[in-house]
Chains A and B, each alone.
Chain A
Amino acid sequence: MIRVEGLHKHFGSLHVLRGINLRVAPQEVVVIIGPSGCGKSTLLRCLNLLERPTSGRIFIDGEEITAPGVDENRVRRKVGMVFQQFNLFPHLNALDNVALAVRLVQRRPRAEAEAWARSLLEKVGLGAKAGEYPSRLSGGQQQRVAIARALAMRPQVMLFDEPTSALDPEMIKEVLDVMKDLAREGMTMVVVTHEMGFAREVADRVLFMDQGTIIEEAPPQEFFINPRHERSRAFLSKILS
């Protein structure tokens, strides 16, 4: 579903991604962990072209999205993204947040877009909050609306960039539960998170990144019990303590 070959990203003189190779199979859930600043967000943002790779190739569903002349807006419809800060549109209620791109990008009539948006809000447990504005929703509710908004485009892949890091502890579970449901339904997911419980339970594979490269990848049982690399061990002991 996703194939990344020799991906490099520079920000000016800063060399952030240093040769990433990665394959994600359909319906696979991959969790990426690693210390702050190692390039996790940048990698995700390259996967939907919010950042332009400096070199290397990325394929989504067999299509090279890094080829010259590819319509980035069409690529992004196939790749949903959920942000740490939710990034809901504050001037629109929950329903319109979800329905907006369905109307504008997919050109569906308003009634159809709203019916679809309503069904997604119900899926994330917020059917009753369709008319609320983001400022009246809790962080966990806002993030669930953001997930529904990304799902509304019927993406083939979902990217999550620390979706629970900005949440109070008591709201983390409701968001993780929605993500678990998605994984169970067979969504292909790439998740940057420090929720090790989620990684253990849901991930097919855990990638450990450091300084712009993937230095270890393994199924979660293996990775958490017996990390091979010195740096993964150090990182794990730090966040699990």
Chain B
Amino acid sequence: MSGWWDWSYVAQFFPYFLAGVPITVLLAVAALVLGSVLGLALALMEMSGRRWLQAPARIYIEAFRGTPLMVQILFIAFAIPFALGYTPNRFVHGIAALALNSAAYISQIFRAGIESVDHGQVEAARSLGMTHAMTMRAVVLPQAARVVVPPLTNELITLLKDSSLVFAIGIPELTTRGRLMASRTFRPVEAYALLGVMYLVLTIPLSYLARRLERRLSRGVRRPA
């Protein structure tokens, strides 16, 4: 009897999917790190008060938040190499697309973190003769860093999920493997169910962690000043 569910397929797919986990994780973590560097730069540009820095940052953020990630991936992995006439490294282009996209969102996380620091401290620092850069580095960013950890953890969760879209450019991460097995064995139920469970195993601990960090942070805020 062959119903729509057969555990033996799950067992068969598992090691093959498992080999995709490091690739998915690497895509997400690399995009988070690169996206944070670029996102911080965008946030500082946006808050610099200088129009020639603000304008490009705002355009960038609007462009990447206002278009589908899938379109961005296709554009970066196919259109740019085509226009410039080189053979793309798919993996590099996949990470680049995810990083460029998440930078737009991460910039808003950093911006909120920086704005959460009381402006009186900035004035105190400036009144001591500290430059804008010194004030950012020694006073504002160390405090903003605490505030941005939970939303950055959530951004990592988003990236783990969104990295599935790079199946479109053939990187052998989790979703690419799921699709391949589903079509090769005609077992879509086992393949996609297992695929979903594997994403959950990655994301649930992270969202638990993010919630705990958030709670600890709000406790810290309520402590008398």
Given contacts A89-B139, A104-B134, A135-B225, contact A76 B120 (CB under 8 A): no
CB-based contact A76/B126 at 8 Å: yes
Q: Which of B118, B123, B129 contacts A73 (CB 8 A)?
A: B129
The 10 lowest CB-CB distance pairs between A and B, nearest first, are: A87-B124, A101-B128, A77-B129, A87-B120, A81-B127, A76-B129, A105-B129, A73-B129, A104-B134, A91-B142
Given contacts A91-B142, A135-B223, contact A105 B134 (CB under 8 A): yes
Any B CB within 8 A of the CB of A149: yes
Given contacts A90-B225, A105-B134, contact A83 B143 (CB under 8 A): no
Contact with A along B200-222 (1 / 0, CB 8 A): 00000000000000000000000
20 cross-chain CB contacts under 8 A: A50-B123, A73-B126, A76-B129, A79-B127, A81-B127, A83-B120, A83-B124, A85-B120, A87-B121, A87-B123, A89-B121, A91-B143, A100-B138, A101-B128, A101-B129, A104-B134, A135-B223, A149-B124, A150-B128, A152-B128
Please name all residues of chain A whose beta carbon is closer than 8 Å to the beta carbon of B225 when the two chains form the complex.
90, 134-135
Given contacts A87-B118, A100-B138, A135-B223, 4 further A-B contacts (CB under 8 A): A48-B127, A81-B127, A134-B225, A150-B127
Any A CB within 8 A of the CB of B131: yes
Complex: chain A residue closest to B224, CB-CB: A135
Any B CB within 8 A of the CB of A74: yes
A150 to B129, CA, bound (A): 10
CB-based contact A50/B120 at 8 Å: no
Please name all residues of chain B whose beta carbon is closer than 8 Å to the beta carbon of A100 when the two chains form the complex.
128, 130, 138-139
Number of A-B contacts (CB under 8 A): 67
Complex: chain A residue closest to B120, CB-CB: A87
Please name all residues of chain B whose beta carbon is closer than 8 Å to the beta carbon of A88 when the two chains form the complex.
121, 124
Chain B nearest CB, measured from A41 CB (Å): 11
Q: Which of B128, B138, B223 contacts A77 (CB 8 A)?
A: B128
Overall SS of chain B's interface:
helix
User: Which residues from chain B sit less than 8 Å from chain A, CB to CB?
Assistant: 118, 120-121, 123-131, 134, 138-139, 142-143, 223-225
A134 to B225, CA, bound (A): 7
Instruction: Give the number of chain A interface residues (Cβ < 8 Å).
Output: 27
Q: Which of B126, B134, B138 contacts A50 (CB 8 A)?
A: B126
Complex: chain A residue closest to B127, CB-CB: A81
CB-based contact A76/B124 at 8 Å: no
A100 to B123, CA, bound (A): 15
A107 to B205, CA, bound (A): 45
Complex: chain B residue closest to A77, CB-CB: B129
Q: Which of A134, A135, A149 contacts B128 (CB 8 A)?
A: A149
CB-based contact A83/B123 at 8 Å: yes
Chain A nearest CB, measured from B210 CB (Å): 22
